[in-house]
Chain A
Amino acid sequence: EPEVTQTPSHQVTQMGQEVILRCVPISNHLYFYWYRQILGQKVEFLVSFYNNEISEKSEIFDDQFSVERPDGSNFTLKIRSTKLEDSAMYFCASSGSRTDTGELFFGEGSRLTVL
């Protein structure tokens, strides 16, 4: 069964450092997403991406965050200057076309720890 893969599974970084989280969505999917979950809290929407541009973003997704689909297969989330409060599990997801079930397929997540 096709799946969304994310790397790294866990990254530890120092405050102020740049971090890039990588995702390989399911190959024929058109919509891509990043979510995050701070330990013990809800899964929060960050950003959605369609047709090579951001289609929607939450207030969490400020200028420190950016997304890119550099090569037609990978989908990345960059945090320019990490803060302690960026420590969370980051989930990538993808979904197909408008005519499908609208199901989002999530990866297993990348745990980011900012020290």
Chain B
Amino acid sequence: DAKTTQPPSMDCAEGRAANLPCNHSTISGNEYVYWYRQIHSQGPQYIIHGLKNNETNEMASLIITEDRKSSTLILPHATLRDTAVYYCIVRVLGSNDYKLSFGAGTTVTVRA
């Protein structure tokens, strides 16, 4: 699986949008971009994933650049409960194994 690069930490004001960048310059054509988060040592939680089109769900939006070498996860109105470690992961979908490889992620702190 391609590797990703994320900033180690970022702060965000409550109620504002949080934009989390991820660099995956070695991504291959059949690799999807996944975002997970982990709130205070709980089990990781799926947020969103995409291949090349922008995606939106009830939790977040995912913007993938046209060359697919980077992406941004957007939390539109951050709340205190969004304080977590956010992981950007790229992997192939549809293979026989769905193993995820977690990096260090971005620690997001939402401040009141």
Contact = CB atoms under 8 A, between A and B. Distances in A.
A43 B97 contact: no
A19 interface: no
A72 interface: no
Given A89-B41, A91-B44, A101 B97 contact: no
B99 A56 contact: yes
Interface residues of B, number: 24
Contacts, number: 63
Main SS of chain A's interface residues? Answer: strand
Contacts of A56: 97, 99
A50 B43 contact: no
Contact of A105 (B34, B46, B96, B104): B46
Main SS of chain B's interface residues? Answer: loop
B49 A91 contact: no
A45 B99 contact: yes
A102 B43 contact: no
B44 A50 contact: no
A101 B104 contact: no
Given A43-B87, A105-B46, 19 more contacts: A4-B43, A42-B104, A43-B38, A43-B44, A43-B102, A50-B96, A55-B97, A56-B97, A91-B44, A98-B94, A101-B93, A102-B49, A102-B91, A102-B93, A104-B44, A104-B46, A106-B43, A106-B44, A106-B45
Interface of A: 4, 31, 33, 35, 37, 42-45, 48, 50, 55-56, 89, 91, 93, 95, 98-99, 101-109
Interface of B: 32, 34, 38, 41-46, 49, 87, 91, 93-104
